Structure 1
């Protein structure tokens, strides 16, 4: 990349100043959040949300039935390359506008007209996407805890018992984010090392301990189709969703931009480095799994409730399986903490601009001496996530539906500002971190990929289609759009785009802080 130079009423303004706060003031806001995150911490929160160990282990079952090892390995490499284009485009915009609202704020500033419509749509899609991420992640933690219980005590948890575990995990994540910000930041950093060391432990164990491995022909080129569809291209499109789900949530770096030091550089770097980290480490981890799939046990592993757990059990026995499941469970637990952080910051920022019901309550921050935390937003996000998982008590399709909300909501919210930036062309004013002349080309390719991948998420995944395997992604998307449209049409709506709440006096003070 080449360098190119390019508050809420009634709330207490943070006490420290500097260039970051001055830039935030130029964008229309006083700083009320606690700016304490380093560049590494900003990278860590996005890396934690993508949680490569959790992403691969938790979603490996889909490509085992739709594409097989060939699709897993080369699909991961290809999807990672396309997502890198997406994150590069988003990073360029984030450098120009380092605010907690991220995508919805960007859409408002990048639209030539009707900015409030584009930003409102992006904001609601992002909100539900992040909310789905919180629910999907903690539901995944719960499923792995259930697998551990089954291995340790040979007991299967009922849906009601799993829901109690889910509620407990969610409560821990809520408390950490609302009441222990220093601990939360520390856990984001620990999560990165957990991912590195945990991935290394799984990779080394799977390559060295088992007495039997798949040969290279099977592990790298075997194509499997258990979906009921006959088109290899169609099946591959379905299988690629395995990687697409992992590569979500990297906008967490942008949502914490108002809490990050040197945000115009740290935020874009954090996003790009997090995706690159996940891409490379995930590819190695995926290859370790494909070489650990033995052909004569493949069908039973693909059909198991938790495919990764079955692979561990087949290759390592009960003790080894339990140890590696603990590694995966820990990674998903850390991922859940980061998801709540990102979702609460987006909720706070969206409410700060009056875009949500109960905005006055949701935009309130708690804390003194610059240590502002949007606790009300945290409690709302976690309460809604608790309700979102309720259908899991009686329907097995709840988790896929929640994942669909997560992925489609996030990627469509990414695509709106990227497409608007593409439409601006040379009229786009970049920040210090930018792509130069390559920016429009990369934004164009990213927009095409987002449209294609989101379309794939709406497709049926198995045949014949029944109520138990129906892909509820279109239903989930329709519900999100109806809620967003209903609120948009509501007479009580007060959202007219991103506000400018900085007075002339406050702006002058912010400029003095730089000097």
Structure 2
């Protein structure tokens, strides 16, 4: 019996996927989900729009300290519990027995909200860039909500078809996407620095340090608050590093490859993202004009300030292509989460959602997520402020689901947590404390509106409270009314005849998790 299969059996599940992802192909999916170039472009509303260049430069660096601690702590958890439903499974294992079902239920639903808003928000951002490019070439064109919705639907639908491919094809496709993302980011970085035409406009080649690192507060809050609010852009941009966790059951040598892919994604992504944003901060001509331009897309407006028309077309096109690969990678991660939670009966129609196709992929989960995504995109018709909430939902939902098992690991399970082969050693507790403190601080700020008092009208309020906490309250109510009677947390899918009788399997399990009779093995037959 293979080591990976022995580990998943020890965790209480039988092997159902083909392990055709390696460290590099898992990283490729994760880096595609991260989608630095389209993510930075889509979230400039928040980085540049809230705090100006400070949100791109030193704000990014400060936020990355907390985010890197979250990512490293999450990687340690993934090494111990390498399953598709990792966050939810780890929470159940690390929580007090009385609270384990409720906490795992909440983490599962919160993480699911991250996943189902991922592809729609990415594809919505891509659609906005396509339409902004059309407006750039034809100033008389102004996209309607219906056109935006239909274009976004077309992107998500084609992503869903691609996500229905066999695992080996998905691995190769996302490797290509990751390469394109990296290459396009480097090309645009060089275009910005080499093709900058500021001098011909009467400006210096680059902005001085005070402007490139300075605050341009566009909110009605103090400068410090506006910078913290701009962290939303960093958090949403960097939130894709959890994807390897959800692919753990399709990855070989998952206990090492999964955490390594998480750390590679967060660290490489953080460095490359900062370098690109630094170039933007030193070449932007007018922050206010970029944010409030009629094109409706700050990144395209920024490019038009410092590049020639042909370069604007090229840079935006590269960003759109990267966005498409990112949306498809988000669909893959979302389908694995839906499958994992359906396997434990968390959703209505779970018996259908947990089915795999003849290619051993969760095909029903892919298309169920697509359908829910189309419903979420109806927020487009409620206005820009309402649909923008899917970005902040992705940030707050991911933070809550990522850090709940980390918090349990450094508190209730501090003395009983058994780390996997990839771990932080003596830095585990300090890193976890910084991660949890950062998240606790950020949650209220992610709910802040741009304006306050009488200026905070429905068209400009932060709808995250409704879009995130509305579904979460319904999920909690469902637990209180019904699910508490039958939901006991992750459950084994092993049959009684699936016993571990192979010497290699026993050795692997005991090395990683202690005696086979430990609580990690759910089936008494094992």
Tell me the residue number matched to 2:425.
436
Please say which of residues 101-110 and 174-183 is displaced more in the overlay. 174-183
1:508 match: secondary structure: coil
Tell me the residue number matched to 1:452.
441
Q: 2:283 is matched with which residue: 283, 292, 296? A: 292
1:57 aligns with 2:41: yes
Deviations 1:155-206 (A, max 9, x none): 3322111111111111111111123544322221122212221111111111
Deviations 1:249-298 (A, max 9, x none): 2211000000001000000000000001110000100011111111xx33
Q: 1:162 is matched with which residue: 143, 148, 156? A: 148
Asked whether the equivalents of residues 17 and 360 of structure 2 are also in contact (C-alpha less than 8 Å), the reply is: yes
- Name stretches of at least 5 consecutive residues in structure 2 with no aligned partner: 199-204, 508-526
Distance 1:347 1:511, change over 3 A: farther
Displacement after TM superposition at 1:511 (Å): 5.6
Tell me the residue number matched to 2:55.
71
Q: 1:507 is matched with which residue: 499, 505, 524? A: 499
Q: 2:87 is matched with which residue: 92, 95, 103? A: 103
TM-score when normalising by structure 1: 0.92
Tell me the residue number matched to 1:216.
208
Displacement after TM superposition at 1:143 (Å): 0.6
Displacement after TM superposition at 1:512 (Å): 6.0
Tell me the residue number matched to 2:511.
none
Tell me the residue number matched to 2:325.
334
Equivalent positions of 1:140-159 (< 5 A) are 140-154=125-139, 155-159=141-145
Distance 1:462 1:180, change over 3 A: farther
1:302 aligns with 2:288: no
Alpha-carbon distance in 1 for matches of 2:158, 2:506: 39
Alpha-carbon distance in 1 for matches of 2:75, 2:187: 32
Asked whether the equivalents of residues 78 and 245 of structure 2 are also in contact (C-alpha less than 8 Å), the reply is: yes
Alpha-carbon distance in 2 for matches of 1:101, 1:139: 27
Q: 1:498 is matched with which residue: 477, 484, 490? A: 490
1:244 aligns with 2:235: yes
Asked whether the equivalents of residues 58 and 213 of structure 2 are also in contact (C-alpha less than 8 Å), the reply is: no
Distance 1:511 1:53, change over 3 A: farther
Count residues with an aligned counterpart.
Answer: 493
Alpha-carbon distance in 2 for matches of 1:394, 1:215: 38
Alpha-carbon distance in 2 for matches of 1:34, 1:514: 22
Asked whether the equivalents of residues 64 and 302 of structure 1 are also in contact (C-alpha less than 8 Å), the reply is: yes
- Name stretches of at least 5 consecutive residues in structure 1 with no aligned partner: 1-16
Tell me the residue number matched to 1:9.
none
Asked whether the equivalents of residues 22 and 510 of structure 1 are also in contact (C-alpha less than 8 Å), the reply is: no
Alpha-carbon distance in 2 for matches of 1:391, 1:60: 20
1:126 aligns with 2:111: yes
Alpha-carbon distance in 2 for matches of 1:317, 1:119: 52
Equivalent positions of 1:243-282 (< 5 A) are 243-282=234-273
Please say which of residues 426-435 and 147-156 is displaced more in the overlay. 147-156
Tell me the residue number matched to 1:487.
478
Asked whether the equivalents of residues 219 and 293 of structure 1 are also in contact (C-alpha less than 8 Å), the reply is: no
TM-score when normalising by structure 2: 0.90
Alpha-carbon distance in 1 for matches of 2:17, 2:232: 35
Alpha-carbon distance in 2 for matches of 1:331, 1:269: 23
Q: CA RMSD for the aligned pairs?
A: 1.8
Asked whether the equivalents of residues 354 and 494 of structure 1 are also in contact (C-alpha less than 8 Å), the reply is: no
1:311 aligns with 2:302: yes
2:460 match: secondary structure: coil
Alpha-carbon distance in 2 for matches of 1:327, 1:228: 35
